[in-house]
Amino acid sequence: MNSQRKILHADCDCFYAAVEMRDDPSLRDIPLAIGRSREHRGVIATCNYPARAYGIHSAMPTAQALRLCPHLTLLPGDFDKYREVSRQIQTIFHELTPLVEPLSLDEAYLDVTGVEGFQGSATWMAQWLKRECLARTGITVSVGVAPAKFLAKVASDWDKPDGLTVIPPEQVDSFVASLPVKKLHGVGPATGARLEALGVGNCAELRRLPRERLIEEFGKFGHRLFELARGIDERPVKIERERKSVSVETTFDSDLPDLGQARDGLAPLCDRLEERLERHGRPAIAGLFVKVRFDDFSLTTLESRGQAIDRPSFERLLAQAWARAERPVRLLGVGVRLQPEAARQQLTLPL
């Protein structure tokens, strides 16, 4: 690993809720979540720390959150306001370095390797970043500092809220050795369970498995696991992130009981997708997909290539996806996969 790299991962603390608490201080000390109203169904977008004390977290169904905390304050969210605050924070990021890779409205990677100010200290840069974001926007930001992207992201989450965690190059090996594998980039519940079945709970235990065994168990991701267990992550900070898909989805107030009503629910989604594609300038399409969440919260996604981007094509995918469970439908989504930039360039090369 290039131990000379200096990467920051900046992550706003409970961003949407933080903006609301900034604008209305009476919300600071009560359980607060951003989500749809009690009369509607949906999921929690984010919540503040008093709400998290009740076990509430992002992506939790609103109904479940209300069972855990009946006096939870729910706000619908003002995403135009959140985008404006995000723009202000991104401006501060770019004052420090032009090498900024936004991941969402509330987090980004910054490569500060070449920054000459602050005597070259990434720790001082992180401290400045936190001070400026709080002073100019009223939002606290947790920052992780490390020689690699995945380590910087782990570090930013280490001491939330309002945290600053630094992993110097000389401490990478010992820090990673004790790191639970569930903290590794790309390790979700399924992969975590498979690693646990192999007797692997942290990276020191993961290091005992040969690369060949990991590839045999996990395919190409096995090679990635081999590197991450040793703190190796050479991914650069990308100034421009290539959009991979365009999609729309909705959670229904009442479950759609059968395929016929699910088809009816598909129509307005197809119209919204068409409008969104127009706004994106009709990008080159590689395929289309349908996403279905059933009433038991199980989720299935079905993709297809080579079909027309029209309602009949989405209806055919929906029928196949619905047949996997044949249950009432809670959420529907439709979208398209975009053709990668490299593939588009190859198509335009002269013969």
Give catalytic status of residue 84 as yes or no.
Answer: no
Q: Is 157 annotated as a binding residue?
A: no
CB 176 within 8 A of CB 155: no
- Contacts (Cβ under 8 Å, ≥6 apart) of 62: 33, 35, 36, 38, 40, 41, 42, 43, 44, 74
Q: Which amino acid is at 74?
A: L
Residue 11 counted as an annotated binding residue = yes
Least Cα distance to 60 among 94, 34, 23, 90 occurs for: 34
Q: Where are the alpha helices (DSSP H) in the chain?
A: 15-23, 49-52, 62-68, 79-96, 122-137, 149-156, 172-177, 189-197, 203-206, 211-218, 220-228, 259-279, 311-322, 341-348
Q: By the 8 A CB rule, do 252 and 340 touch?
A: no
Q: Catalytic residue, from 84, 101, 107, 278: name it.
A: 107
CA dist 222 and 201 (Å) reads: 16
Helix (H) or strand (E) holding 146: strand 141-146
Query: CA end-to-end span of the chain, whole Å?
Result: 40
Cβ–Cβ under 8 Å, residues 16 and 74? no
Of 251, 266, 254, nearest in space to 319 by CA: 266
For residue 165, give the amino acid letter.
T
Alpha-carbon gap, residue 13 to 141, rounded angstroms: 6
Number of other CB atoms surrounding residue 142 within 10 Å = 23
Tell me how far CA of residue 293 lies from CA of 121, 134, 290, in angstroms. 47, 38, 10
Task: Name the nearest CA neighbour of 106 among 123, 90, 130.
Answer: 90
DSSP-derived secondary structure for 214-245 = HHHHHTHHHHHHHHHTTT---PPPPSSPPP-E
**Known binding-site residue numbers:** 11, 106
**Known binding-site residue numbers for Mg(2+):** 11, 106
Residues marked as catalytic: 107
